[in-house]
Structure formats: structure tokens, C-alpha cells
Structure 1
Amino acid sequence: MFLKVIAPRNPIKLVLAFGLLASAAAFAAAPAYAGECPADQVATNAVQSMPSAPEGVTDEVISTIDLSTKGDAWKGNRFRLRKLVVQPGGVVPWHDHSTRPANILVVEGAISEYSNTCKVAIEHKAGEATAEFGQLAHWWKNNGSVPAVLYSADILPPDMDAHGAM
């Protein structure tokens, strides 16, 4: 994996990165398009087993934009686009989004999300997107028989390593 910083002078890549984010946001805004927690299963601080290490996951950073030039409020923040491939049985470990908002787009396969806000697994299929922010903490597992391919667009705060945050 490598870190690629898109300079402001490369507008094509910048437009493509923001285009993917906008597409993911548009999908996430559509009601019931992405997997959702059933209304009778919504919880606060649902207790579940929580894996702490990735397993069967490749995490490729496609591009990163340093947002510091956008003003003091953005100093040290980075906008990152990644491709994650989660093999059958693979796990994206427990993490939270209190300081790192993200949009996830599932492009191949399916994946199950185990969240602190739901008592049961939330299923996400190819073509679905979901927004991750606020007090959400969760982990993902590919319970299927084919790899799940996800694209993640997130904003990393200054204290997070670009390669360490799932």
C-alpha cells in the first residue's frame, strides 16, 4: 500500500475522487436503499463480540487529499479514498466513527455489519451505500462465498494514521 496525495493542480483526479464521494452520498440518502437495522432491533450500545484485528482484508489507499489548504478548521485533516476487498470469512475489525465520517459503497458481493446500534447483523449488498458517522461503532464480516469489494471515502482527523484506521 502507498499514500498518494493529489495536488490541487490535478483537477481530473480531484473531480473523480469527489464524484465517487458524491455518488456514495446520493446512494446513502435514498431511503431503504442500503441495508438498515430492522425497527424492532434498534438498540443503544448493543453488546456483541468485537474482533480487534483485520482478517482476510486487503486495504488499498487509492488517493489522499490534504485538506489543510482549505483553512484552519481543516488543518491536518485528509480526505481518503480506499478499496477494501474482504475475502469470505474475512473481518474488518471493531472501530468507531466519532471522529472519522465515511461513506461505504459495496460494489461486489455482500457483507454483514455488526453495530452498536442494532441487535442483529445488517446486510449490505452490491450496489448499496451506507453513511458512517456520529456515535456509530461497528465491525464487518463477509459471511458469503465470494469476496466483498467496498470503496470507502472518509475524512481522517490529524491524529489518525492514513493506513491504520479501518
Structure 2
Amino acid sequence: MSEPAAPQTKGVEVQLLGTVDLGPELPGMEGRQLRMRMVTIEPGGVFGPVHDHRGRPGTVYVLQGAITDHRDGVATDYGPGLGWPEDHTTLHWLENRGSVPAVEISVDIVASD
């Protein structure tokens, strides 16, 4: 069975929780920051389209509900207390197939604004 095409983002709210400028903290990290966000995906919501994490490594932890991570033709469900890494090989999209909002905490390293 083939993986469905990733629809555009819908039903997603992203709240920035905090950032740390990594330049003064670690040699070679000038222009980069550690970022923490809370992402809420409503039932039927999608965090898409397909996107990668090259130059933006991170990790995700699910607080509430369930999130389906679509990558490499495989759909994997993550519920509360579980999460996944996002590295240079990650190419994916996310959806909430459940009946309650799914809430995740996402921490990643990004270019400073």
C-alpha cells in the first residue's frame, strides 16, 4: 500500500516557548539558536507538506493525544510519553488521526533570525 501524498498544513498552532543564542555558549555555533516550541495539531490536522531537517536537528516529545509520523513510506503513531528524533536524514510529515488535540514539545537547533 502506498503512502498518501502529504497535504498542506492545516489545524496546527505553534507557540514559541523559548530560545537560547548558542553563539556565546559553544564555539562554532555563531548564528544558531536552541529553540523550544509547543505544537498543537487538531483532530484531522496536518503538519506538512513533506519537509526535511537538514541543518535543523531536533527531538520531539508528545504530551497529549497521538501524532502519526509519515516517513520512508511508513506511518508510525506516537502517543503521550513517546517521541522521535529529527536529523539530517529525516524527511516526513505529521498528522493527527485521533479525536482529541495532539500536543508535542519540539526542541531543535535553527539559524538565528
Normalising by structure 1, we get a TM-score of: 0.62
Partner in structure 2 of residue 143 of structure 1: 97
Give unmatched runs, 5+ long, in structure 2: none
Report the Cα distance in structure 2 between the residues aligned to 1:62 and 1:48, rounded to whole angstroms.
32
Task: Select the residue among 86, 89, 92 that pairs with 1:132.
Answer: 86
Aligned length: 111
Report the Cα distance in structure 2 between the residues aligned to 1:120 and 1:79, rounded to whole angstroms.
29
Residue 95 and residue 72 in structure 1: after superposition, are their counterparts in 2 closer, same or farther (change >3 A)?
same
Equivalent residues in 2 for 1:1-166, closer than 5 Å: 48-51=4-7, 53-93=8-48, 94-115=50-71, 117=72, 119-158=73-112
CA contact (8 A) 1:88 1:146 kept: yes
RMSD value, Cα? 1.7
Tell me the secondary structure at the aligned position of residue 77 of structure 2: strand
Give unmatched runs, 5+ long, in structure 1: 1-45, 162-166
Farther-moved stretch of structure 1 (91-100 vs 137-146): 91-100
- Per the TM alignment, residue 47 of structure 1 is displaced from its structure 2 partner at its CA by 6.7
Give the 4+ runs in structure 1 shifted more than 6 A: none
Higher helix share: 1
Identity of aligned residues (%): 35
The one-letter code matched in structure 2 to 1:105 is: Y
CA contact (8 A) 2:60 2:107 kept: yes
CA contact (8 A) 1:88 1:145 kept: yes
CA contact (8 A) 2:69 2:95 kept: yes
| Larger RCO (CA under 8 A, 6+ residues apart) | 2
Report the Cα distance in structure 2 between the residues aligned to 1:72 and 1:153, rounded to whole angstroms.
20
- Per the TM alignment, residue 97 of structure 1 is displaced from its structure 2 partner at its CA by 1.1
Report the Cα distance in structure 2 between the residues aligned to 1:100 and 1:146, rounded to whole angstroms.
29
